[in-house]
Structure 1
Amino acid sequence: MGLPGADIMKLVDHTILKPYSTKEDVRRVFQEAVSFGCYSICVNPVYVSFARSLVDDAGANLRVCSVIDFPFGAMDTESRVEAIARAAANGADEVDIVAPITLVKSGRWAEVTRDLSRVVRAAHGEGLVIKVIVEDAYTTRDEKLKLYEIVATSGADFIKTGTGFEDREYASSIGNRPGAQADNVRLMAEVANKYNPSLGIKAAGGIRTLRQVQELLEASGRPPDPSKFRIGTSAAASIWRDVSSGRA
């Protein structure tokens, strides 16, 4: 794509979601996010208030993102709505919520639709940007098509490829690869362009190089604008090294 480094890095949600992450890990990722010019820092709910304080104390131009019902997408709708309200109260600007995967895999599409409509309304009622994680590694093509359509018509701001915590054995058993795949992003763009052309796309899972970012951005058909396309990664430092060295 030949984008300047700053334009690439402003698409990045720098992420720290390992269950053993400490406050010092969050502080380090925050400092990296500021240094690299990332768009946001994405943390587990327990660290939202801490991340908010880091951003505010530094006067940083950085958003705070919290994950919700992560990584399983197995909570009931009211619990998900309550978690969104807590994230907002603790200082989040955005939430990344896993689609109700248990309902998806059960073919309970009306319930999936009701859930996502409810959580999107809750997030927007709190003034939050909401990204719905569809966990591509767990779904068949037919399930993807249906779920992408539901997300596109739910009013969500973004559709997101995965959590990065997929069960590789299960993914393989249904012919899928874990992580962000350009083919899935292309399919997302095709469905979104039919039902909701303004839907943003976020690619996440195993993204460590500038070349991957460029391939995924091209597959999305979106402009290099953080309101339209994002990358979720814990490897912002690796991408920044590629940007700095001119590697693609």
Structure 2
Amino acid sequence: MDVKQILTMCDHTLLKQEATWEQIKTICDDGKAYDCASVCIPASYVKQAAEYVGNDLKICTVIGFPNGYSTTAVKVFETEDAIRSGADEIDMVVNLGWVKDRRWDDILEEMKAIKASCQGRILKVIVEACLLTEEEKIKLCELVTESGAEYIKTSTGFSTGGATVADVALFKAHIGPDVKIKAAGGIHSFEEAQAMIDAGASRIGASALVKLVKK
């Protein structure tokens, strides 16, 4: 797959705490120029960005980010607010404490509530794979499939590790046929992105790939 094709699968990302509007505008410009799948940005910039790009680029934002332990009600409110502001795609973080407590029904109920709040928009569930056992990863594949979410996503990029080929392959083996995989976190080259795609990823979350093209 060539560089242009990979970029069409990329959520061009800027989620640093100190991100400014000028920086957000730049990644929006780059996202349009390189035909990226979306830009993934903080919720506080969604309205400005959606107005800035119009219909030329999808806007993705994050919910319960990066720790995942907000209440379900808060995550639902965040989602509804993001949709009102113009978000096209939602990336939410699963409650990892609930995973460790094996509160599977609560996790599924939360996923379904957020999916309903998306009002037909794409939902990606971030499971923070670096903090999970293999058994927990497999169980979350099952829950994401049951929830109706479109994607399972490997990582926030804010924890102890990012995407791995092994995790993408594991997800691919255990998700339902209608669920896709977003590999995100620590993807710094097109070779790494290609390896994730070869393992089964349909979307790449990265801040580095467009920068490589612009050099």
Range of TM-score over shorter length = over 0.9
Separation in 2, partners of 1:121, 1:88 = 12
Q: Give the AA of the match of 2:13.
A: T
Separation in 2, partners of 1:130, 1:111 = 18
**Structure 2 equivalent of residue 160 of structure 1:** 153
Runs of 4+ in 1 over 6 A off after TM superposition: none
Query: Equivalent residues in 2 for 1:99-118 (5 A)?
Result: 99-118=94-113
Q: Deviations over 1:132-155 (max 9, x none)?
A: 001001111111111111112110
**Structure 2 equivalent of residue 174 of structure 1:** none
Asked if the contact 2:12/2:210 (under 8 Å) is kept, the reply is no
Separation in 2, partners of 1:239, 1:217 = 18
Aligned residues: 215
In structure 2, list runs of 5 or more residues that go unmatched. Answer: none
Q: Deviations over 1:175-225 (max 9, x none)?
A: xxx111000000000001xxx2121110000111110111000111x6xxx
**Structure 2 equivalent of residue 148 of structure 1:** 141
**Structure 1 equivalent of residue 174 of structure 2:** 191
Q: Give the AA of the match of 1:162.
A: S
| 1:239 positional shift | 4.6
Instruction: Tell whether 2:124 aligns with 1:131.
Output: yes
Asked if the contact 2:190/2:209 (under 8 Å) is kept, the reply is no
Separation in 2, partners of 1:235, 1:34 = 16
Asked if the contact 1:65/1:94 (under 8 Å) is kept, the reply is yes
* Identity between Structure 1 and Structure 2 (%): 35
Among 208, 214, 223, the alignment partner of 2:188 is: 208
TM-score normalised by length of structure 2: 0.95
Separation in 2, partners of 1:102, 1:90 = 30
In structure 1, list runs of 5 or more residues that go unmatched. Answer: 169-177, 223-228, 243-248
Instruction: Tell whether 2:61 aligns with 1:66.
Output: yes
Q: Give the AA of the match of 1:27.
A: K
Q: Give the AA of the match of 2:70.
A: M
In structure 2, relative to structure 1, the CA distance for the partners of 1:15 and 1:148 (3 Å cut) is: same
Separation in 2, partners of 1:30, 1:92 = 13
Q: Give the AA of the match of 1:95.
A: I
Q: Give the AA of the match of 2:115.
A: V
Q: Give the AA of the match of 1:25.
A: Q
After superposition, the CA RMSD in angstroms is: 1.4
Q: Deviations over 1:68-100 (max 9, x none)?
A: 010011111111111111001000001000011
Separation in 1, partners of 2:114, 2:132 = 21
TM-score normalised by length of structure 1: 0.83
